[in-house]
Structure 1
Amino acid sequence: MHDESVTPEKLIAAIKPTGLDAQLAERGQKFGSGASAQRRRAIAVGISGLLTALGLILQWTHAGPAALQIAVFVGAIVAGGWFIFPKALAAARRFSPDMNLLMTIAVAGAAIIGEWSEGAAVTFLFGLSELLEAFSVQRARRAIESLLQLSPETALLKRGDAFEEVPVETVKADDVFAVKSGSRVPLDGEVIAGVSAVNQAPITGESLPVDKKTGDQVFAGTINGEGSLEVRVTKAAGDTMLARIIKLVGEAQAQKAPSERFVDVFAKYYTPAVMVLALLVFFVPPLLFGGPWSVWAYRALVLLVIACPCALVISTPVSIVSGLTAMARRGVLIKGGAHLEAVGKLRALAVDKTGTITEGNPRVRRVVTFNGNNETDVTRIAAAIDTHSEHPLAKAVVAYAEEKRVAFRRSEDYQARTGRGAEAVLDGHHYFVGNHRFAHELAVCSEEIERALAEIEQEGQSVVVVGHKPHADCKGEV
């Protein structure tokens, strides 16, 4: 249920006592403040580590007075714990003990018994684990930010016979907007006018542009090709396919791995249990057995120090960050720790062919000739036309010609035929290059050619037809 009395200001005020901070985000705003805070944490943890190492060297070599060693360790504790201690204080106020509180008590105990090196080491290791966890959060923010950049902030809204550029948030369902050649589609909708090839790779992962005509669906964040489209809005800005993807990515990135969830649950019970045990060690022997208070106070503090589970706390984020980084170097992007751990339980794997098993870059496999033409001439003509285009299949043809060292010059009077191919003039002759449909429309396919094209298409390969375009007294041929 939505309560209108709960304002953003009230939410921010409610969050602050927990030791955290919040601010109101706006569309287009980048997460610079988060990155800045993370840099400050990284610098602080680095300083803490260096001071801890320096203090240990001074301690082991007995260089300098004891006061100097203590000062260095205190500096390490302050540098590594300035963003942890407020969380511990907030946890104590809420009577909800957690790892932050246990670590703070352990550091305080180490300081009381004079084990400053132990306190500095605990602070540095715990601060490092917090920093690694913050890195994973920042990774989620960057992923969402990159997705937000896919969608334009404005749309060319049709009003009467004119078009006006307006913010996408103001566009409603059933409104009509235009998409210029080479522009990104701002909202999900249905094409009502125009023909074009749309690059849907940012949304669907398809490596080749998809032909769009009247009645076809387009998605926000996709890239229009050479044609111009008029689109009727089917979903508002907050309900588009891209908006749902952003929401799913955010939820997936926020999910903790099972091992991380275990640490949280473990801390919920472990922290108060250790604190109770330390109190028992402090009170029971002196009260029941007459032990010296100073000795058992020391031992209770020692228990708090050695009970701080630094290895458990630091092992989980280190393992997850290392795994995600190692996979990223190999070109594999994993949404988060939960999905990384799920890989270990896989028994079968289903993958998309294009861009996964294959590279996602088309290549010319073979050239089939008809009507006495040779491979070199066919390649030369196709490359001369396709050198005008940025279409992935056209680039593949040009790359094949260059690989085979086939010399070609740029054709003239080039005209793109959206969803079909292109045509141009070369050496005074009219040629075309395009798909099976284009060849059909030009009526240049014989029964022999139809059989050959059907066999190639059954193999799952794309067909590019090259030939003379019918004109004047020329009936055309493939």
Structure 2
Amino acid sequence: MSANVKEKVQERDRRQEEGIDVAAWFKQHGESVAVIGSGALTLMAWLLSGQSQLSVGLFLLAYIIGGYAKMKEGIITLVKERDLDVNLLMLLAAIGAASIGYWLEGAVLIFIFAVSGVLENYTLAKSYREIASLMDMKPEMAVRLIDGQEHAVKIEELQVKDLVIVKPGERIPADGIVKDGVSFVDQAMITGESVPVEKATGEEVFAGTLNGQGSLIIEVTSSSESTLFSKIIRMVQEAQSEKPASQQFMERFESTYAKSVLGITVVLIMIPPFVFGWSWTEALYRAMVFLVVASPCALVASVMPVILSAISSSARKGVLFKGGAHLEILAEIKAIAVDKTGTLTLGRPQVTDIHAYQGYERNDILRIAGAIEMMSEHPISLALIEKAKEEGIELIRPNQMQSFPGRGVAAEYEGLNWKVGNADFVGSELFDEQTRERINELEKQGKTVIYLTNHEGLAGLFAIKDTIRLEAKETIAQLKNLGIAVVMLTGDREGTARAIADEAGIDEVYAEMLPADKVEKVKEMRQKYGQVAMLGDGVNDAPALATASVGIAMGITGSDVSLETADLVLVHDDLVRLPGAIRTSQKARRVIKQNIVFSLTVIFLLILSNFFQFLTLPLGVIGHEGSTILVILNGLRLLKS
């Protein structure tokens, strides 16, 4: 079903732009038209019930028009998968009702069943339209500048370092850095900011955002398939294609249950005339009622409309689930491990203190450290590079650089072997008492201390201070109110980590952790709490993100590796969206349970009523299909949450 819905949605605009295309319109709305036609024919046949031949002809048309789509799905399942599904059960029930003269009941059954199918398809289509609306915002062409000349090219042809010009009112074609010009850019669809943001030289811009009144020259920093915008689209598509565990179970259950219902129906036709003395017409009638009321339509529709509604609702709020399974697991988490730099903090630390040793000048050690860190994208590395550029220092790439995630960088530079990193990496035994006192004082101020060493020992140290996100404290408080334990895992020093944790309201802190240490701690937390989430943004967080029950990445500051590894992405880097996502997942779980309990209760009561011969076929149709519609509508409530 979902593939058909996706095909309809993706077809919609292209042909309509060329004019009214009846075939394309009917392909998109055909199922709804069939439902209306089936209902109208059923009403006409009922009104003309005194004219038997005409009435039967109209009922036959109602059967064919209303039941065609479901019959096709049922036959495909039977032929391709050699399995029975609820579609065939409903059609067999309608045909059985007609065979004993209950044309109206059979037609009403098909009509209401088709209505519930349209409602379910609406839920799926609503989710796919979220993708379609995103795709509409994706630029197709760009104006590339080559030697001052403008050349129109497809965005797929753009390469990193290309210069593109974006004129007023145009969408920005690629992620990049503004090289010239000033303008206000509407980037609500990426960052959620309600008002346009001023962009000037050196500022970052995102593909798909809308340029205002000024012209911008932008240097491309990502290929078309690697832009944040493309990642958002890809992740939502993945979320829609992945079925949660509850839906997979429901589909397996549907197959077994459908076979059981069909078997019992045959028994109800064959046995009662001999055992209870029923007529064959009465036995067939009761069997048809059973076939209707026992079919698991409402049960089958209990899960997927809820999951897709929750995913769509979350996507609008800037929270992307990569699959329904992760939505279900998020509802069960009892603890969350949180990275510090770039996650709880803004990830844009600044160098506040520089101390030189071995007779080096302040600018010397800044030049060496900045050069060694040039190939790293860690926020601390970027802070050193930015400071060097502010001081007007030219940086030259080193030889034989080697990165040690979570620890530091080693390189050969100007004939010497250097290390830049934390104390454990460079060797804390190199520090004298006076240096240790200075380090302790800096760490008490919540600053991270980075060291530069060579073969002679400590050559310099840098104090770097990051700023906590404004929403971090509120987010932690909300998580605690939800009964979720919050633990900080960071590679930073104990003093710095504790200062940020105290400010954010986190009690449990583990500092100076390597990527492998974070993995082990997440494993320990899973043993203690059960389902555990991990929130991070860096390359060194990726192993822990993969180990957690649910990995959560920051959408803007997050590294490519963390975004690929994570199960959930906070697109706008807005931490306060996380508690909301957890509440949505918990609400989805409650709605699924409500649907399952309600549908099973209705099925049980209807079967019981039929067994005692209290239930007529029309009431069975209304009770069964009415419960299916109520279940779907209950799931659709999450679209507004």
* TM class, shorter-length: 0.5 to 0.7
Find the aligned partners of 2:75 and 2:53 in 1 and give their Cα distance: 28
Structure 1, residues 95-136: CA drift from partner, whole Å, max 9, x if none?
Answer: 121111111221222222222122111110111111112222
Verify: 1:137 aligned to 2:124, yes or no.
Answer: yes
3-state SS of 2:150 partner: strand
Find the aligned partners of 1:157 and 1:28 in 2 and give their Cα distance: 28
**Selected match of 1:118 from 89, 105, 111:** 105
Equivalent position of 1:402 in the other structure: none
**Selected match of 1:148 from 113, 118, 135:** 135
Equivalent position of 1:54 in the other structure: 44
Structure 2: state its 5+ residue gaps: 333-469, 471-641
Equivalent position of 2:77 in the other structure: 91
Find the aligned partners of 2:5 and 2:168 in 1 and give their Cα distance: 46
After superposition, residues 295-314 of structure 1 pair within 5 angstroms as: 300-309=287-296
Equivalent position of 2:182 in the other structure: 195
Verify: 1:217 aligned to 2:225, yes or no.
Answer: no
Contact 2:6–2:125 under 8 Å retained in 1: no
Equivalent position of 1:239 in the other structure: 226
- The structure with the largest strand share of the pair is 2
Find the aligned partners of 1:27 and 1:298 in 2 and give their Cα distance: 44
Closer, same or farther: CA 86–334 of 1 in aligned 2, 3 Å: farther
Closer, same or farther: CA 289–209 of 1 in aligned 2, 3 Å: closer
The Cα of 1:317 is off from its aligned counterpart by 9.1
Structure 1, residues 20-50: CA drift from partner, whole Å, max 9, x if none?
Answer: 9969979984798775324222111012112
Greater shift, 87-96 or 31-40, is seen at: 31-40
Structure 1, residues 418-463: CA drift from partner, whole Å, max 9, x if none?
Answer: xxxxxxxxxxxxxxxxxxxxxxxxxxxxxxxxxxxxxxxx9xxxxx
The Cα of 1:162 is off from its aligned counterpart by 1.5
The Cα of 1:257 is off from its aligned counterpart by 9.0
Greater shift, 256-265 or 316-325, is seen at: 316-325
The Cα of 1:154 is off from its aligned counterpart by 0.8
After superposition, residues 22-33 of structure 1 pair within 5 angstroms as: 29=14
Equivalent position of 1:207 in the other structure: 194
The Cα of 1:235 is off from its aligned counterpart by 1.5
Equivalent position of 1:270 in the other structure: 257
Find the aligned partners of 1:24 and 1:305 in 2 and give their Cα distance: 32
Find the aligned partners of 2:242 and 2:97 in 1 and give their Cα distance: 35
Contact 2:127–2:308 under 8 Å retained in 1: no
Greater shift, 37-46 or 187-196, is seen at: 187-196
**Selected match of 1:42 from 27, 32, 53:** 32
Structure 1, residues 134-157: CA drift from partner, whole Å, max 9, x if none?
Answer: 222332343222222223211111
3-state SS of 1:221 partner: coil
* One-letter identity of the residue aligned with 2:221: T
Equivalent position of 2:57 in the other structure: 71
Aligned-CA RMSD value: 4.8
Equivalent position of 2:94 in the other structure: 107
Structure 1, residues 184-242: CA drift from partner, whole Å, max 9, x if none?
Answer: 21111122333333222232121233232333211011122343322222222222111
* One-letter identity of the residue aligned with 1:211: E
Find the aligned partners of 2:194 and 2:155 in 1 and give their Cα distance: 27
3-state SS of 1:206 partner: coil
Contact 2:5–2:124 under 8 Å retained in 1: no
Equivalent position of 1:410 in the other structure: none
Equivalent position of 1:385 in the other structure: none
The Cα of 1:53 is off from its aligned counterpart by 3.0
The Cα of 1:246 is off from its aligned counterpart by 2.1
Equivalent position of 1:82 in the other structure: 68
The Cα of 1:271 is off from its aligned counterpart by 0.9
Closer, same or farther: CA 175–124 of 1 in aligned 2, 3 Å: same
Closer, same or farther: CA 28–238 of 1 in aligned 2, 3 Å: farther
The Cα of 1:282 is off from its aligned counterpart by 4.2
3-state SS of 2:137 partner: coil
Equivalent position of 1:181 in the other structure: 168
Structure 1, residues 243-286: CA drift from partner, whole Å, max 9, x if none?
Answer: 12223344456677999777645523321110121233345668
* One-letter identity of the residue aligned with 1:219: F
Closer, same or farther: CA 232–22 of 1 in aligned 2, 3 Å: same
3-state SS of 2:29 partner: helix
Find the aligned partners of 1:312 and 1:72 in 2 and give their Cα distance: 32
* One-letter identity of the residue aligned with 2:57: A
Find the aligned partners of 1:178 and 1:315 in 2 and give their Cα distance: 50
Contact 1:126–1:313 under 8 Å retained in 2: no
After superposition, residues 365-404 of structure 1 pair within 5 angstroms as: none
Closer, same or farther: CA 30–270 of 1 in aligned 2, 3 Å: farther
Find the aligned partners of 1:42 and 1:173 in 2 and give their Cα distance: 47
* TM-score of the pair, normalised by structure 2: 0.42
Whose radius of gyration is greater, 1 or 2?
1
After superposition, residues 432-471 of structure 1 pair within 5 angstroms as: none
Find the aligned partners of 1:160 and 1:239 in 2 and give their Cα distance: 26
3-state SS of 2:69 partner: coil
After superposition, residues 296-375 of structure 1 pair within 5 angstroms as: 300-309=287-296
Find the aligned partners of 1:248 and 1:163 in 2 and give their Cα distance: 34
> Among the aligned pairs, what percent are the same residue?
36
The Cα of 1:295 is off from its aligned counterpart by 6.8
Find the aligned partners of 2:238 and 2:320 in 1 and give their Cα distance: 10
Structure 1, residues 166-195: CA drift from partner, whole Å, max 9, x if none?
Answer: 111111222221222332211111223333
Closer, same or farther: CA 111–333 of 1 in aligned 2, 3 Å: farther
Verify: 1:159 aligned to 2:146, yes or no.
Answer: yes
* One-letter identity of the residue aligned with 1:85: M
* TM-score of the pair, normalised by structure 1: 0.55
Contact 1:52–1:73 under 8 Å retained in 2: yes
3-state SS of 1:82 partner: helix
Verify: 1:128 aligned to 2:115, yes or no.
Answer: yes
